[in-house]
Amino acid sequence: MRYILYEASNNTIQLSREVQFLTNYVALMRLRYIDKVAIRMELPPEIPDVQIPPLLFISLLENAFKHGVSYRVESFVEVIMQLEEGGSRISFRCRNSNHGKAGEQHHGIGLENVRKRLKLLFGNAYTLSIKKDTASFEILLIIPL
């Protein structure tokens, strides 16, 4: 809560603080779901000392838990963050189980707001890719550092 209230109001934040926030969020979800959800998180072994806009990844991670978890069937959430191109870019991949009915679409504003924010922050210098099939939903975000 302190991170969101005090640090996330800055224009930029240390990448290490953002990673710590994501790690804490996943730890909380592990406590909440215990054995109901297979959760995997992979982070770079060393986080570069760079600044990024705050709260870039949390909406994507929250959506994975919100839409990817079922109490009736096996569920999973996978998060992989990697440095690319010699550390000049970072990729954030979030994949989760898809329990929606065929053709069902969520009409929330979360992803649309993420797209608008990325466009304002990075122009065309980012990648946001979304893949969905009957078993999984995957989102890939790549941003320059």
Q: pLDDT tens for residues 121-133?
A: 999 999 999 999 9
Total Cβ atoms within 10 A of residue 81: 20
Enter the pTM of the model.
0.89
Domain boundaries of the chain, sorted by first residue: 2-144
Select from 40, 26, 101 the least CA-distant residue to 75.
Answer: 40
Given a cut of 70, whether residue 110 has pLDDT beyond it is: yes
Domain 2-144, architecture per CATH: 2-Layer Sandwich (3.30)
